[in-house]
Amino acid sequence: MLRLSALALPLIAILAVSAGASSPPTYKDIPFLERTEIGARWAGMGGVCIATVDDGTAIWSNPAGLGKIRRIELLGTLTNSVLGIETDWLGRKSSSSISTTRFQSLCLAYPFPTYRGSLVAAAGITRVVSFDQYLNRYGTGDYHDIEEKKVVLSAWSGAIALQVSPNVFIGGEAHFFTGDLTYHDELYPWGERTTPAIFAQGGDLSGHGGTVGMVYTNRFVSIGIALKTPQRITVEGEEVWIDDMGTGRNPPVKYHVDLPFSGSIGIAVMPPNFVVALDVTYTDWHQLGFPGGIRDDAGNFIYDPTTDIRFGVEYGIPLLPLRLRAGYAYVPMALNRFRIEKNRRGITLGAGTVIESSVAVDIAWVHTSFERSSPPDDYREKRTLDKGLLTLTYRF
């Protein structure tokens, strides 16, 4: 993937042309561009959290929210994801899916005793990218392409938050990244060929970045702002290829992916028993730093700025320790090399309860989908992602 995939691209293109087909530009998908839902409570509300977050997940989304924590808190989240892909390439339809289960986050927050206001420190690990893909598609004749990708990127964070006035909280977070990526592509034989061409790539991920935020809140309304500083991700890896001509190994590579500033603003209103919240996040992907290039041969940007819109509702049932949640998310695609038939949207549901004031249990279901096509390649694709989240929080 990324530059590693680009190394194999010329040979893949030659093989595809030999088969009478061209390869759709899926290699330009960069999973580091995605903003995932962190924590089951906020995932159940469409991922909205900038103005409302008040638990350990604030360490990544808006560290100012940590200032609302009043007891020592240990929080962990488990996720299960099922990705389904349906393709129609040159009139041949196929489908594939992959399921994964991983820990998403673990955070410890400690509120220091203060004379007034609050001072909260937190440390944790958040899996900010968890991308698993299995893509099985057919072209003309016997042409058959199987791609498997896995990208895991985790942020190890430290954060601090302050209550600077009765209604204002500020916070900051710094992190370093660890992770890995793998890419495996098999181009199955056609005509007189008897063996597939195989490309295997792998790399280690590292990097750093930070987040700053502010929250103003009172009994009826809450407003939050969060700013992600530029994030640098370093990739170090190698590539191996195998075909009927033999086996080869390219020299090791090292390069950087620089993600630009990303700004979010959130607002929530809180009538009795309700929370109604909206988040808007803007990112100018024209400022992306990517060794594979962000312009085409004509000088046009291949990644567009995006504005994510997330909306969520939470209802607390009177006299019961139960909260019900629902949400909607519009998270447009940055890559414009495809014709977007249906941009990415999501619907969410969730619920949460508190047991004896010490243990909070939250669950959520997230369903997202999008459809896109590449007319020059006679290619169409539909992707659906169903994700379940479980968050347990213990307050000492």
Q: What is the pLDDT of residues 51-87, one digit of tens each?
A: 999 999 999 999 999 999 999 999 999 999 999 999 9
pLDDT band at residue 197, thresholds of 50, 70 and 90?
confident
Percentage of the chain beyond pLDDT 90 is 69
Res 393 pLDDT > 80: yes
- Listed residue (26, 9, 12, 3) closest to 251, CA to CA: 3
Percentage of the chain beyond pLDDT 70 is 90
Least confident of 5-9, 212-216, 292-296, 354-358: 5-9
- Listed residue (179, 205, 140, 173) closest to 58, CA to CA: 173
Q: Which amino acid is at 313?
A: V
pLDDT band at residue 29, thresholds of 50, 70 and 90?
confident
Res 23 pLDDT > 80: no
Q: Which H/E stretch holds residue 11?
A: helix 2-18
Tell me what pLDDT residue 15 has. Answer: 42
Rounded to an integer, the average pLDDT of 190-200 is 70
Please tell me what DSSP assigns to residue 116.
S
Rounded to an integer, the average pLDDT of 248-259 is 88
Res 392 pLDDT > 70: yes
Strands (E), 189-244: 197-217, 221-228, 231-243
More confident residue, 141 or 267: 267
Res 158 pLDDT > 50: yes
Res 247 pLDDT > 80: no
- Listed residue (60, 169, 102) closest to 387, CA to CA: 102
**pTM of the predicted model as reported, rounded to 2 decimal places:** 0.90
As beta bridge partners, residue 188 has: 144
Res 18 pLDDT > 90: no
CATH number corresponding to 2-395: 2.40.160.60
Rounded to an integer, the average pLDDT of 211-239 is 96
In the numeric block, the tokens 């072209």 are attached to: 139
Res 6 pLDDT > 80: no
Rg, Å, the chain Cα set? 23
Tell me what pLDDT residue 91 has. Answer: 85
Tell me what pLDDT residue 130 has. Answer: 86
pLDDT band at residue 285, thresholds of 50, 70 and 90?
very high
Tell me what pLDDT residue 192 has. Answer: 57
Q: How many CA atoms lie within 13 A of 352 on its CB side?
A: 26
pLDDT band at residue 241, thresholds of 50, 70 and 90?
confident
Rounded to an integer, the average pLDDT of 361-386 is 95
Average pLDDT, the chain: 89
Tell me what pLDDT residue 191 has. Answer: 55
